[in-house]
């Protein structure tokens, strides 16, 4: 399983919106510039966050995105599900009913597949871990690694987008 880059981009943009400290909508171009991303593709990645109630979107020339909830109320699982969808990562195709065991009666396969059970249990733990981590806790970790981060973001945007400084 591979999680798409859209999950990373979406989570980073949520943090960036908070660090920017502005009350106005932030355009996709401004958000994309902060990470050197292509604006059109980033916009497609952020639309599912709007549908999930993580961001709000304002159309028009002065439009853009804002956080719909605080980072304390957004989990990594919320972002992952918004971008990737709610489908389970593992799908058992019951291949044990083929080949060597193809002639066995249906009753031989009533017990769950042990591989399916193990994969589902692992995925459940993974999903619980993501649901337990808020973007606020991720932001705290980032700021512990780089205490100047919020100010750096604000300074960079003040230099590159002076009309939009907080």
Cα angle 162-29-165, degrees, rounded to a multiple of 5: 20
Question: Average pLDDT, stretch 68-77?
Answer: 98
CATH code where residue 120 lies: 1.10.10.10
Question: Average pLDDT, stretch 6-21?
Answer: 96
Q: DSSP H helical segments within 58-165, as ranges?
A: 76-84, 114-132, 135-145, 149-160
Please report which confidence band the pLDDT of residue 164 belongs to, taking 50, 70 and 90 as the band edges: low
- Residues linked to residue 83 through DSSP beta bridges, in sequence order: none
Q: What is the pLDDT of residues 90-108, one digit of tens each?
A: 889 999 999 999 999 999 9
Q: Are 154 and 20 in contact (CB under 8 A)?
A: yes
Domain hosting residue 157, numbered range: 5-164
User: 64-67 and 55-58: which strand pairing?
Assistant: antiparallel
Classify residue 55 as left (phi > 0), alpha (psi -120 to 50) or beta.
beta
Instruction: Report the number of distinct structural domains present in the chain.
Output: 1
């Amino acid at each position: 399983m591979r999680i798409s880059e859209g999950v990373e981009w979406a989570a980073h943009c949520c943090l960036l919106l908070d660090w920017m400290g502005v009350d106005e909508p932030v355009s996709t171009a401004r958000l994309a510039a902060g990470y050197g991303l292509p604006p059109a593709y980033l916009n497609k990645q952020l639309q599912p966050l709007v549908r999930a109630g993580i961001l709000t979107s304002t159309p028009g020339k002065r439009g853009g995105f804002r956080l719909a909830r605080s980072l304390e109320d957004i989990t990594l699982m919320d972002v992952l599900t918004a971008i990737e969808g709610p489908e389970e990562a593992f799908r058992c195709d019951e291949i044990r009913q083929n080949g060597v065991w193809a002639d066995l009666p249906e009753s031989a396969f009533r017990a769950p597949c042990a591989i399916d059970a193990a994969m589902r249990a692992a995925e459940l733990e993974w999903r619980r871990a993501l649901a337990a981590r808020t973007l606020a806790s991720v932001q705290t970790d980032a700021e512990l690694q780089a205490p100047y981060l919020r100010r750096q973001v604000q300074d960079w945007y003040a230099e590159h987008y002076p009309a939009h400084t907080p």
